[in-house]
Chains A and B, each alone.
Chain A
Amino acid sequence: MDLVLQEFPLLLKGAYYTLLITAVSMTFGLIIGLLVALARITGNKVLSGLARFYVSVIRGTPLLVQIFIIYYGLPDVGITFEPLTAAFISLSINIGAYLSETFRGAIISIPKGQMEAALSIGMSYSQAMRRIILPQAARVAIPPMGNTFIGILKETSLVSVITVTELLRASQLLISKHLVVMPFYIAIAIMYWVMSTGFSILLGKAEVKLSKAY
């Protein structure tokens, strides 16, 4: 226990990286997810086919394999990333695929009459999407987005294998330094749990606020 307290700054630094990777990949994942969802719904055949292929590949392969391909595989063709960059990229691409499905479902769930009403007052398709459909879809998408968010917070532990010193790897380094196992793993488990619960509470509040709107 003393050891954990003594090394706590290092663990905190690991938690910082965990949060950083989560935040960055969630942000880019959101952008990718929205674009891919729109491509699938409104794009031409080629575009929506590509989008479908992307989603299918990402969802059909393990995240760990995706991380390996980006960090260890791409250097073979001359593309090399820093570990942290590779972590950002692989997780963003991964979340993007899952979120695109969430967004697509949310957009499709908005009644057809909404688009028709928007078009009938002279809006262009993109104005109608932006002003009428997406704001309503966002509300539908928030709860499943929260799940993805918390899922990814935990899955960041996978990037420890490409030497990003996030929470899991921080604890492993400490374990090999002090040759004590249990206290460190318990400590990071608690830290993961605290972070997830914190997010759950925040998301819950956002949900309540959004559902009050109308």
Chain B
Amino acid sequence: MIKVVNLTKNFAELKVLKEVSLQIKPKEVVVIIGPSGSGKTTFLRCLNGLEQPDVGSMEIDGIQVDAGMLDKEKNKRIREIRQHTGMVFQNFNLFPHMTVLQNIIEGPVTVKKMSVKAATKLGEELLLKVGLANKRDEYPSRLSGGQQQRVAIARSLAMEPKIMLFDEPTSALDPELVGEVLNVMKELAKEGMTMVVVSHEMGFAKEVADRVIFMSDGQIVEQGLPEEIFVNPKAERTRKFLNQILK
């Protein structure tokens, strides 16, 4: 489903990603952990074309993108990738000038040229799924963080993606609101969505992740089943990091 080869990204002098290679199978749920500055968010953003790698290539759902491609061709392919990849951001990034329902149907109507009627039906189903059917006509500013994030997930799902990318989806939330967002994500995982999640939610990782990846200094240090990584990490750096966040 996702195949990444030698992805390298520099911000000026700083090497953020150093030849990262990775394969993810359909329906797999992968959780990426690592200290801040380890490159995990940059890696995720590369998968959605929000960052452009300097070297390397990736193939997502059959669409190949090489760092060395001509911009025009590359941009076309990235846009294609985005149409079947959903992205959920740390800060939700809902469109504040649109109601909850308008946020959700914006993609289908503007990008896929779906009729407003059909999109509204889809939007209502998705709102039911994330448990916010009664909020359809509210503006995002009236919702709690957890509700906003669930709307953001519904907005991504409205494009009927095959892959969902989550960039620290619960980091900006008050602790008591984290559960409702994780529950929606668990539901998605159960339904067989391919998911790549940058998150430090250990409970979530243990329960639904097929694989946990530990990144540090722009590299994948180690990866394996959640219990392997959490209980018995091989690398010293992983152990140190886990000690710090589990304290």
Contacts and interface: CB of A to CB of B under 8 A. Distances in A.
B103 to A, nearest CB: 9
Interface in A69-127: 111, 113-114, 116-124, 127
Contact of B93 (A114, A124, A131): A114
A67 to B, nearest CB: 39
B110 A214 contact: no
A172 interface: no
B48 A120 contact: yes
B176 to A, nearest CB: 24
Given A114-B93, A122-B83, 7 more contacts: A116-B87, A120-B85, A120-B86, A121-B86, A123-B111, A127-B111, A214-B140
Interface in A3-28: none
B141 A121 contact: no
Interface in A109-157: 111, 113-114, 116-124, 127, 131-132, 135-136, 139
Contacts of B79: 122, 124
B25 to A, nearest CB: 23
B181 to A, nearest CB: 17
A136 B96 contact: yes
A213 B97 contact: yes
B107 A123 contact: yes
A129 to B, nearest CB: 12
Interface string B104-148: 001100111000000000000000000000000001110000000
A114 B139 CA distance: 15
A121 B95 contact: no
B82 interface: yes
Interface residues of B, number: 29
Most buried by A among B79, B94, B96, B152: B96
Nearest to A127: B110
B141 A214 contact: yes
B63 interface: no
A131 B82 contact: no
Nearest to A122: B83
A131 B110 contact: yes
Interface string B72-89: 000000010011011101
A113 B93 contact: yes
Given A122-B79, A139-B97, A113 B91 contact: yes
A131 B91 CA distance: 20
Contact of B50 (A116, A131, A136): A116
A108 B119 CA distance: 31
Contact of B111 (A113, A122, A139, A214): A122
A132 B87 CA distance: 17
B110 A120 contact: no
B213 interface: no
A103 B49 CA distance: 27
Nearest to B109: A131
B159 interface: yes
Contacts of A113: 89, 91, 93
Contact of B106 (A116, A119, A131): A131
A116 B85 CA distance: 13
Given A121-B106, A131-B110, A116 B93 contact: yes
